[in-house]
C-alpha cells in the first residue's frame, strides 16, 4: 500500500518572503500532482541524500512502514493517519519552511518489523526510512542509524486480569514459570522475554504471532498467558476496559522510539534538527491529545520527569481503576433499579392477576350493570343533545329579541330626548322646577339610548358577524370623539388636551375604532374630578399606532383591574358627578380591540389616575 502526502507553507513576513513562499507552494503542489500520478507504480528505492535534496530543492524519500495503531492507522478511506504520519507530514512542512526543500514520500507497507530492518539494512539506499515505533538498542544501531527519540520507550509485562497478581519478582517466578508468553519474533518484546527466561532460569513457553498489535487480544483469549507490550497500548487497553493487568515486575524503560535510516544516509541530520524544534513539539502535543486523549500528555511528561516510574504508573492505573469502579457502580445501580423494577412488575402482575380473578368471578353481574349504565348514558346523551339544541335555539331567540327590542326602543327614546330638548330650548318660559324635570328627562333618555347602543354592540360582537376591514384614519376618528365629548367635559370643568399625529392609518372598521375611543374617553370624563385634565395622544412606534388616553381620576385598584374587562362588572371607583354605569363599556372596548387585532394595556395606581394604552398595526 503506497501513499503520497504533503505539508502546508507557513505565512511569510515580508513581500520578498511571501513571493518566495508562494513559489515554494507552487513547486510543492506541482510535485504533489506528479506523486499522485505515480501513486500506484511499483515501489523503488530512493538514492536521495539530504545534501542532494538541498541542491535540487526537493526529491523523493521512500518510507518503509507497518501499521501500528495509534501511531500508524489505515482509516476508512484506506489512507494513512496517526501520530507517526503527522510527524512525517510535519517534517515535510519543516524542510519547506526552513530550507525551501519540497519533499515527497513514497509509502511502502511491510508486514513485519523484520522486513523493515532487512530493507533498510541491506538495500544500500540513503533515501530509505523505516517507521514502526522502533525501539533503540545497541545491537540494532550497529546495522542502522537511529534518529533521536521522538517518543518514550516504556514496555510493561501484562497478563489476563484473571491471572495471578505479581507484586515482586518472586511472585512472577512462582506463578508464571510454566505459563505461555506471547510475542513477535525479532522485536524487543522477544528480546526482553529471553532475558527474563535466562536471567531467572525460568522454563515458560514462548508463542510467536505475526503482529504486535494483536498481543493484547491473544493474552485476553489465552488463560495463563502473558507478554510485553508498549505502555501506550497498555493504557489504551485500560481506557477501553479490556480485562488485562500489569505484572509489577520486569518493566523495561528503553532509550526511546526512533526512525531508522541506512548507514550511508545523512537524513538523520535534518530529522534530528526537526525533532528538537518547536514545530515538532506542537505536532507531538496535538498528536497525543488527538490519538491518546487529553490527559495523556500530562502523564507522559510526568513519566519522563519523575524519578520513580512505578509510582507514576500506579497513579495512572489507579485513575483507570477508579473510573472502572465508577462505571461498575453505575452498572450496579442500573441493575439494582432494574431488579427493583422487575420485582415491582412481578408484584403488579400478581395484583393484576388477583383483580382479574375477582373480576372474572363477578363478570356476569358486572356486565349486566354495565349494560344498564350504558343505556342510561345513551339516554342522557340523547337528552343532552336535545337540551343543547334547545339552548342554541333559545340563544338565537334571545339575540333576535335583543335586536328587535333594542331597535324598537331606540325610536321612542330618541323621540323623548328630542322633545325634551325642544322644550328646554324655550326654558325662559318654564318654571325652574319644570326646567329641572325636563333636563332630567333628557339626561335619562340619553343614558337609556347609550345603554341600548352598548347592548347592540355586545350582540353584534357575540354574533361574530364577519365584515371586511378597510383603511381607517385614526386621527380623524380620535378628533371626532374628542369633539363629541367637549361639551360634556366643559360642563364638569374638565380640560381635554389632545396631541394627535396626522396621517396615521390602520386596517379595520371605523365604527369599531369609534366605539373603543368613545367608551374609554367617556369613562375618563365620568371618573375625573372637576378641574382635572384628560390627555389624548397618538403617535407611531415601530410600525404601530399608539393611542394613550390619560385621566387624573381616582385610579383603578389591582382587584378591579382583574375584572374590569368582563361584562356587567361594577368597579369600586365612583363617578365624580353621580353618572350611571352599565358595566359594559370596558368589556365592549376589550372585544372590539380583539376583533381589530390590537393590544390594550392599563397603567393605573390608586389616587394617581389611569392611562389606557392602545396599539394597532400601522398600514
Among 13-22, 289-298, 299-308, the minimum mean pLDDT is found in: 13-22
Give the C-alpha separation, 399 to 381, whole Å. Answer: 27
Last residue of a domain, one of 200, 229, 253: 253
What per-residue confidence (pLDDT) applies to 102?
95
Cβ 592 vs Cβ 469: under 8 Å: no
User: Is the residue at 597 inside a domain?
Assistant: yes
Q: How many domains does the chain have?
A: 3
- Nearest to 188, CA basis, from 102, 257, 116: 257
Residue 63, pLDDT > 70, answer yes
- In this structure, the answer to whether residues 100 and 199 fall within a common structural domain is no
- In this structure, the answer to whether residues 246 and 278 fall within a common structural domain is no
User: Is the residue at 20 inside a domain?
Assistant: yes
Specify the pairing of strand 80-81 against strand 145-146.
Answer: unpaired
What per-residue confidence (pLDDT) applies to 358?
78
User: Is the residue at 338 inside a domain?
Assistant: no
Q: Which residues pair with 104 in a beta bridge?
A: 60
Length of the chain, please?
A: 619
What per-residue confidence (pLDDT) applies to 2?
34
Last residue of a domain, one of 203, 237, 253: 253
The phi and psi torsions of 180 (rounded to 5 degrees) equal: -115, 130
- In this structure, the answer to whether residues 270 and 184 fall within a common structural domain is no
* Per-residue confidence band for 30, with pLDDT thresholds at 50, 70 and 90: very low
- In this structure, the answer to whether residues 244 and 277 fall within a common structural domain is no
User: Is the residue at 600 inside a domain?
Assistant: yes
What is residue 528's three-state secondary structure?
A: coil
CA 474 to each of CA 155, 249, 506, 600: distance values in angstroms, whole numbers, following the listed order: 89, 94, 7, 16
Q: Which domain holds residue 167?
A: 154-253
What per-residue confidence (pLDDT) applies to 25?
47
* Per-residue confidence band for 340, with pLDDT thresholds at 50, 70 and 90: confident
Helix (H) or strand (E) holding 208: strand 205-208
Specify the pairing of strand 533-541 against strand 544-550.
Answer: antiparallel
Mean of pLDDT values over 469-495: 91
Give the C-alpha separation, 218 to 244, whole Å. Answer: 11
- In this structure, the answer to whether residues 183 and 103 fall within a common structural domain is no
Q: For all residues of the chain together, what is the average pLDDT?
A: 79
Which residues lie closer than 8 Å to 456 by C-beta, 6 or more apart?
A: 402, 403, 406, 407
Here the CATH number for the domain that contains residue 603 is 3.30.565.10
- Nearest to 270, CA basis, from 127, 72, 66: 127
Among 438-452, 482-496, 589-603, the minimum mean pLDDT is found in: 438-452
Query: For residue 539, what is its C-alpha cell?
Result: 403617535
Q: Which residue has better confidence, 607 or 24? A: 607
User: Is the residue at 309 inside a domain?
Assistant: no
- In this structure, the answer to whether residues 273 and 241 fall within a common structural domain is no
| pLDDT above 90 as % of the chain | 26
Orientation angle between helical segments 510-526 and 474-491, nearest 10 degrees? 30
Here the CATH number for the domain that contains residue 164 is 3.40.190.10
| pLDDT tens sequence across 403-460 | 665 556 666 777 787 777 777 676 677 777 777 777 777 766 766 776 666 666 656 5
- In this structure, the answer to whether residues 47 and 143 fall within a common structural domain is yes
- In this structure, the answer to whether residues 271 and 233 fall within a common structural domain is no
- In this structure, the answer to whether residues 486 and 532 fall within a common structural domain is yes
- In this structure, the answer to whether residues 265 and 248 fall within a common structural domain is no
User: Is the residue at 409 inside a domain?
Assistant: no
- In this structure, the answer to whether residues 132 and 29 fall within a common structural domain is yes
Last residue of a domain, one of 202, 233, 253: 253
Residue 520, pLDDT > 50, answer yes
User: Is the residue at 431 inside a domain?
Assistant: no
User: Is the residue at 607 inside a domain?
Assistant: yes
Work out whether the CA dihedral 320, 322, 325, 329 comes out positive or negative.
negative
- In this structure, the answer to whether residues 165 and 126 fall within a common structural domain is no
Amino acid at each position: 500500500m503506497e501513499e503520497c502526502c504533503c505539508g502546508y507553507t507557513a505565512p511569510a513576513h515580508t513581500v520578498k518572503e511571501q513571493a518566495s513562499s508562494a513559489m515554494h507552494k507552487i513547486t510543492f503542489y506541482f510535485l504533489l500532482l506528479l506523486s499522485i500520478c505515480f501513486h500506484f507504480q511499483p515501489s523503488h528505492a530512493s538514492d536521495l541524500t539530504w545534501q542532494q535534496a538541498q541542491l535540487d530543492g526537493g526529491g523523493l524519500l521512500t518510507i518503509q512502514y507497518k501499521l501500528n495503531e495509534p501511531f500508524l492507522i489505515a482509516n476508512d478511506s484506506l489512507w494513512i493517519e496517526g501520530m507517526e504520519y503527522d510527524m512525517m507530514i510535519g517534517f515535510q512542512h519543516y524542510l519547506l519552511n526552513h530550507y525551501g526543500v519540497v519533499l515527497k514520500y513514497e509509502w511502502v507497507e511491510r508486514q513485519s518489523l523484520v522486513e523493515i530492518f532487512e530493507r533498510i539494512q541491506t538495500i544500500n539506499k540513503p533515501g530509505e526510512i523505516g517507521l514502526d515505533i522502533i525501539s533503540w538498542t545497541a545491537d540494532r544501531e550497529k546495522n542502522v542509524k537511529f534518529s533521536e527519540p521522538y517518543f518514550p520507550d516504556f514496555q510493561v509485562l501484562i497478563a489476563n486480569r484473571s491471572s495471578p497478581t505479581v507484586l515482586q519478582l518472586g511472585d512472577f517466578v512462582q506463578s508464571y514459570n510454566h505459563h505461555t508468553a506471547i510475542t513477535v519474533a525479532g522485536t524487543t518484546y522477544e528480546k526482553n522475554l529471553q532475558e527474563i527466561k535466562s536471567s531467572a532460569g525460568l522454563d515458560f513457553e514462548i508463542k510467536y504471532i505475526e503482529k504486535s498489535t494483536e498481543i493484547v487480544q491473544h493474552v485476553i483469549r489465552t488463560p495463563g498467558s502473558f507478554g510485553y507490550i508498549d505502555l501506550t497500548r497498555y493504557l489504551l487497553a485500560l481506557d477501553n476496559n479490556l480485562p488485562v493487568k500489569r505484572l509489577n515486575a520486569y518493566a523495561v524503560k528503553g532509550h526511546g522510539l526512533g526512525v531508522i535510516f541506512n548507514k550511508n544516509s545523512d537524513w538523520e541530520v535534518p530529522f534530528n534538527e526537526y525533532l528538537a524544534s518547536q514545530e515538532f513539539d506542537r505536532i507531538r502535543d496535538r498528536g497525543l491529545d488527538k490519538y491518546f486523549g487529553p490527559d495523556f500528555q500530562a502523564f507522559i511528561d510526568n513519566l519522563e520527569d519523575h524519578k520513580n516510574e512505578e509510582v507514576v504508573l500506579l497513579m495512572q492505573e489507579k485513575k483507570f481503576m477508579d473510573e472502572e469502579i465508577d462505571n461498575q457502580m453505575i452498572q450496579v445501580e442500573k441493575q439494582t433499579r432494574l431488579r427493583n423494577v422487575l420485582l415491582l412488575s412481578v408484584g403488579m402482575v400478581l395484583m393484576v392477576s388477583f383483580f382479574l380473578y375477582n373480576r372474572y368471578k363477578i363478570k356476569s353481574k358486572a356486565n349486566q350493570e354495565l349494560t344498564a349504565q350504558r343505556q342510561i348514558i345513551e339516554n342522557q346523551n340523547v337528552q343532552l343533545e336535545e337540551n343543547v339544541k334547545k339552548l342554541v335555539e333559545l340563544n338565537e331567540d334571545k339575540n333576535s329579541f335583543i335586536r328587535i327590542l333594542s331597535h324598537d326602543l331606540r325610536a321612542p327614546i330618541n323621540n323623548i330626548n328630542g322633545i325634551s330638548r325642544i322644550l328646554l330650548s324655550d326654558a325662559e318660559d318654564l318654571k325652574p322646577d319644570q326646567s329641572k324635570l325636563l333636563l332630567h328627562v333628557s339626561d335619562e333618555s340619553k343614558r337609556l339610548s347609550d345603554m341600548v347602543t352598548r347592548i347592540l354592540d355586545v350582540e353584534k360582537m357575540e354574533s361574530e358577524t364577519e365584515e371586511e376591514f378597510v383603511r381607517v384614519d385614526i386621527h380623524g376618528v380620535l378628533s371626532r370623539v374628542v369633539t363629541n365629548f367637549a361639551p360634556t367635559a366643559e360642563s364638569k370643568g374638565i380640560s381635554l388636551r389632545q396631541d394627535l399625529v396626522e396621517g396615521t392609518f390602520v386596517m379595520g372598521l371605523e365604527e369599531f375604532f369609534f366605539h373603543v375611543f368613545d367608551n374609554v374617553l367617556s369613562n375618563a370624563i365620568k371618573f375625573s374630578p372637576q378641574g382635572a385634565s384628560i390627555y389624548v395622544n397618538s403617535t407611531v412606534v415601530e410600525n404601530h399606532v399608539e393611542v394613550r388616553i390619560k385621566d387624573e381620576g381616582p385610579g383603578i385598584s389591582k382587584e378591579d383591574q382583574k375584572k374590569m374587562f368582563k361584562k356587567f362588572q361594577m368597579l369600586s371607583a365612583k363617578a365624580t358627578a353621580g353618572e350611571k354605569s352599565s358595566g359594559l363599556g370596558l368589556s365592549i372596548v376589550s372585544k372590539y380591540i380583539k376583533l381589530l387585532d390590537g393590544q390594550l394595556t392599563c397603567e393605573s395606581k390608586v389616587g394617581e389616575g389611569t392611562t389606557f394604552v392602545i396599539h394597532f398595526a400601522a398600514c
